[in-house]
A = this chain, B = another copy of it.
Amino acid sequence: MKIVTTITDLRTELAKHRKSGKTIGCVPTMGALHEGHMALVKKSASQNDFTVVSIFVNPIQFGKNEDLDKYPRRLDADASLCAKNGAGLIFAPTMESMYSADHQTYVYNEPLQDLYCGQYRPGHFRGVLTVVAKLFLAMQPDSAYFGRKDYQQAFMIQKMVEDLNFPIKIVIIPISREKSGLARSSRNEFLSTSDRNNAACIYQGLCAAKEEYDEGEVSVEVLRTIVRGAIDHSGGKVQFVEIVSRKTLLPITGELTEKATILVAAFFGVTRLIDNIEL
């Protein structure tokens, strides 16, 4: 598996494929790849002539007290997984090739960046949108693949693409789950065995709320309480449970009258997990 570390080398590699008329799919990641990422790589490989996976732990999307330093990094294992699943190139840029010392320009989603995950992770989505814009402009793919686990992120990237006219098709892939139902995440490996078992309650709570909704419950408070209850009961600490409009991602209160999604963030031990379900 070829690995390039600078934008110049990346562009040289991709230009060869573009010149011969190949379509290019990209999968932006922070590495520590798992089956969820591989679902993205496989989908890209099935829909494009050439797939590039970027691996970059983006410092500007981490808060000061977050897990930037301990975020798992294992480039060799990641590269080998990518090769097996149909990727043709890895872009693993150095910090210096992504951010100059005097970097000044950032991408904002004004109404959404301080909601939900953004409320508890100030600056997180500024970091995400900025790095994704940079990666898109470095790779210039035809299509880009993201997981639905990061629901708010996927929505805001799709919105950025529409708002700024990126000529890129965004493909959102369903959440990949462990046998227990726990959404796959590079952070799951931080969980103790018992926390990893208990954390399955997040998805159980989401499914229980969806069942109630399917049976006619439209009270946002009732549905939120079901999810909160399931997590509390299993020893997790809820950060937020919100029900949001699928069209605008703005919060819904009172009764549900439009297509909605439940977003949840919870701690098990010191590890923060997120999940969601579309109603």
- Residues of chain A having any CB pair with chain B under 8 Å: 7, 11, 100, 102-112, 129-130, 133-134, 137-138, 140, 156, 159-160, 162-167, 248
Contact A7-B133, Cβ < 8 Å, known A108-B106, A248-B102: no
| Pair A107/B109 contact, Cβ less than 8 Å | no
Point out the residue from B106, B137, B160, B162 that lies within 8 Å of A165, measured CB to CB: B137
Q: Which residues of B contact A138 (CB under 8 A)?
A: 165
Contact sample, A vs B, 5 pairs, CB 8 Å cutoff: A104-B159, A105-B159, A105-B160, A107-B108, A137-B165
Q: Which residues of B contact A166 (CB under 8 A)?
A: 137
Q: Which residues of B contact A167 (CB under 8 A)?
A: 11, 137, 140
| Pair B137/A105 contact, Cβ less than 8 Å | no
| Pair B105/A164 contact, Cβ less than 8 Å | yes
| Pair B111/A108 contact, Cβ less than 8 Å | no
In the bound complex, CA of A7 to CA of B164 (Å): 11
Q: Which residues of B contact A110 (CB under 8 A)?
A: 104-106
Q: Which residues of B contact A111 (CB under 8 A)?
A: 104
In the bound complex, CA of A162 to CA of B99 (Å): 10
Q: Which residues of B contact A102 (CB under 8 A)?
A: 248
| Pair A104/B112 contact, Cβ less than 8 Å | yes
Q: Which residues of B contact A103 (CB under 8 A)?
A: 163
Complex: chain B residue closest to A7, CB-CB: B165
Q: Which residues of B contact A109 (CB under 8 A)?
A: 104-106
Q: Which residues of B contact A137 (CB under 8 A)?
A: 164-167
Question: How many whole Å from A41's CB to the nearest CB in chain B?
Answer: 23
Complex: chain B residue closest to A135, CB-CB: B165
Question: How many whole Å from A159's CB to the nearest CB in chain B?
Answer: 5
Ranked nearest first, the 10 interchain pairs of A and B with the lowest CB-CB distance are A105-B163, A137-B165, A105-B160, A138-B165, A104-B109, A134-B165, A106-B108, A105-B109, A103-B163, A133-B164
Q: Which residues of B contact A162 (CB under 8 A)?
A: 100
Q: Which residues of B contact A163 (CB under 8 A)?
A: 100, 103-105, 134
Complex: chain B residue closest to A107, CB-CB: B107
In the bound complex, CA of A108 to CA of B140 (Å): 22
In the bound complex, CA of A108 to CA of B105 (Å): 6
In the bound complex, CA of A125 to CA of B154 (Å): 27
In the bound complex, CA of A111 to CA of B106 (Å): 11
Complex: chain B residue closest to A11, CB-CB: B167
Q: Which residues of B contact A100 (CB under 8 A)?
A: 162-163
Q: Which residues of B contact A106 (CB under 8 A)?
A: 107-110
